[in-house]
Structure 1
Amino acid sequence: MSIQPSGLLAKPVTRITVMQGQALVSAGPRVELTTVLGSCVATCLFDPEVELGGMNHFLLAEPPAAQKAMGVDEHYGVYLMEVLINQMLAHGASKSRLRAHLYGGANLHANMARIGTANAEFARSFLQRERIPLIKEDLGGTQARRVDFRPASGQVRCRMVANDMAPEPQPIQRPAAQRGEVELF
């Protein structure tokens, strides 16, 4: 009879990076969603009954008022929060069982707009409006964070990292205005 060390029997974890502008959901017991945040915010949602979770990563809370009339922009928190909740519901979660964690929202540069603070405030108020309990948060400050989330168990590890590890905010690309020739009659 041979005895194998327990470490040899463990299956590897599949790490999936959640990029700016994404929302991903999984029930895989060996899946870990991961992201690095500066001023961005990541929301981790979890339904303990169906062992399902998901994460989003948004750069800005809401588009400027003038831009809202142009339609939905998938890069903003107001859209990505809805996408994450809807993906969770589509995979069997119940809104009444959802629990949330929030991470990020740092203000990395002292002389710049406090985008991180605005993102954090938006995320908190969104969860409150939707009546989703906020179980844990690590928001604000001046340092970047790395977040590793196991969606099937709801476990999260958040640690500070060097600010240069946070992705540079990607400008939000909007389609060019349609311009064509006009023929007058």
Structure 2
Amino acid sequence: MNIDRQISTAPPVERVTVMQGFALASSNPSLEYSTVLGSCVATCLYDPESHVGGMNHFLLSEPPAHTPGVNIDEHYGVYLMELLVNEMMAKGARKSRLKAHLYGGANVNRNMMRIGSMNADFAREFLRREGIVLMREDLGGTQARRVDFRPASGQVRLRTVEDRFAPPVQPTPRPAVARGDVELF
């Protein structure tokens, strides 16, 4: 018995994990960004004309007030949101065309302050203030999430994650050397 099989001509997908404190952007159609979120928030941005997209993953929205002499910590949303926009613009995206998706912001530990809610509020307010259209959000609750995002097409897949697989709420080690400048606009 002869069975014809179709061979897919689509390029294989390369998966890249976006860890806490990172913002990545690409126009590569065979790339997929993935992350797992508890109280953290991931922003997925996409420019439908340039086919440039990106994802960040932040632990906390902003540094505590009254912390003189503290360097910018790349785990904060205030840094990572700007970094993501800048990296996308460097690859040909235009800020005026950006579309956003927000995920995470769960309050996974009932005994802690509502870090997830604060992260979600910050991300929504950043997008509003910068004039970036929010297309979809899945924020809040108590359930961790896994997000897979294809930056060149803007496609997103979202799944909930069992609590035992949720990432811990703590910063990951960061490099001793800064990764570059951030232009605030």
Q: Same fold (TM over 0.5)?
A: yes
Amino acid at match of 1:87: E
Distance 1:134 1:3 in 2: 47
| Residues 17 and 76 (structure 1), Cα distance of their counterparts in 2 relative to 1, 3 Å cut | same
1:48-127 equivalences in 2 (<5 Å): 48-67=48-67, 69-127=69-127
The equivalent of 1:39 in structure 2 is 39
The equivalent of 1:30 in structure 2 is 30
Does the alignment pair 1:13 with 2:13?
yes
Shift of 1:134: 0.3
Amino acid at match of 1:27: S
| Residues 3 and 52 (structure 1), Cα distance of their counterparts in 2 relative to 1, 3 Å cut | farther
Q: Deviations over 1:107-148 (max 9, x none)?
A: 001121100000000000000000000000000000000000
Distance 1:170 1:160 in 2: 20
Distance 1:68 1:56 in 2: 26
* Alpha-carbon contact 2:20-2:171 (below 8 Å) kept: no
The equivalent of 2:168 in structure 1 is 168
Runs of 4+ in structure 1 over 3 Å off? 7-10, 171-174
- TM (norm. structure 1) is 0.88
Shift of 1:5: 2.2
In structure 1, list runs of 5 or more residues that go unmatched: 175-185
Overall identity of the aligned pairs, in %: 65
| Residues 110 and 92 (structure 1), Cα distance of their counterparts in 2 relative to 1, 3 Å cut | same
Distance 2:165 2:76 in 1: 22
* Alpha-carbon contact 2:95-2:132 (below 8 Å) kept: yes
Distance 2:68 2:93 in 1: 30
* Alpha-carbon contact 2:43-2:57 (below 8 Å) kept: yes
How many residue pairs match? The answer is 174
Amino acid at match of 2:52: L
| Residues 68 and 61 (structure 1), Cα distance of their counterparts in 2 relative to 1, 3 Å cut | farther
Distance 1:172 1:34 in 2: 17
